[in-house]
Structure 1
């Protein structure tokens, strides 16, 4: 039961079904899942460990609202991990993930042409997931999954792509990364991938104003 609660709540938060700062009631969740409060309480503790919820003693439990600093730091880690992933993938040659990446980019081109931002957002996540899978490094993938959960990346992709011109720019960057991987140029692939993640971070921060969340007085702090 506890595992089911954890999985469902994690997915809701990551998808953005429950927004940042939203309160989470143990009683309401227990009723919804048809369980006692104990597995719900333990599930929320696990989600706090993952950085998805914040438990405030004698106040309540809330979906984490990351500050600008936290988002920046998480993107810095994303940059490092994805840069390493494309370098590793470039060494492997023509593996199965390459075919899937090519198919992803073919569909992405069609989607960008018809300005289907929702579908493109899903393809962006698939593209990055394939890069990580293609690195064939279980430790890297484990750290990456935890990081993506903390970023609630689905929400941030939508925010990034809402910036004017970001969707076609992102598509071009993805194509360049794959070109370099196919050329087995791991150094350049890593550099371009890191630049791509930095561009995404800038787009996210530009489209996600969080008053005072950078630690200035009166904000939400870290």
Structure 2
């Protein structure tokens, strides 16, 4: 629960700006305001997580395509260093560091697309998805870290080859694979519903 009075005292402001901020967070799907009860951090439903991943797949595919069209952008060097650091995190058996680097990889690519509206929508999406927490859960799946690195490397290769269509396709497949692993990491009793709802046609 997020009490208005406590937040106002904590930030040394009146309750009015706190109330407006909470309304904005509700609009963005991050909190739920229950009249005469209080304000609570909102957890997305299973269906919402799936729908958010579908949007993530589209936005990141577009980002990879746009970055590939830019040619020798400065972000390419940053992505290369990110992959090197990610491989070192795997060798050091540091899943926390790897999860942080995964998050950075995707954000570097999105910002490298050089499209402010894309960044704006992507930031809102990632806030709703609570992505870092999902990555932490996913990297615990056997073999997922190595698959993830290979997928990141394939995306970067397509971008370096200035192949926007290839970059988009590989990126979308990577996000799809990540989504499947994130969903499969949840309790087995819920997997049947997801398998029916989130299976890509062959």
Same fold (TM over 0.5): yes
2:118 maps to 1:144: no
Q: With the length of structure 1 as denominator, give the TM-score of the two structures.
A: 0.81
Q: TM-score under structure 2 normalisation?
A: 0.89
Q: Distance in 2 between matches of 1:53 and 1:80?
A: 25
Partner residue of 1:33 out of 11, 21, 31: 11
Counterpart mapping for 1:181-196 below 5 A: 181-196=159-174
Q: 1:84 offset after TM fit, Å?
A: 0.6
Deviating runs (4+, > 6 A) in structure 1? none
Query: What does residue 128 of structure 1 align with?
Result: 106
- Structure 1: gaps (5+ residues): 1-22, 216-222
**Residues of 2 paired with 1:144 and 1:193: CA distance?**
15
How far apart are the structure 2 equivalents of 1:66 and 1:88? 30
1:76, distance to aligned residue in structure 2 (A)? 0.3
Measure, in 1, the Cα distance between the counterparts of 2:144 and 2:87: 14
Aligned to 1:158: 136
Q: Would you say the 8 A contact 1:68–1:210 is kept in 2?
A: no
Work out which of the residue numbers 26, 50, 66 in structure 1 matches 2:28: 50
1:151 Cα deviation after fit: 1.0
- 1:112 counterpart = 2:90: yes
Q: Structure 2 vs 1, CA of residues 211 and 36 (structure 1 numbering), >3 Å: closer, same or farther?
A: farther
Q: Say if 1:26 and 1:41, in contact at 8 Å, map to a contact too.
A: yes
Distance 1:52 1:210 in 2: 26
- What SS is found at the alignment partner of 2:118? helix
Matches within 5 A, 1:1-40: 23-40=1-18
Aligned partner of 1:98 in structure 2 is 76
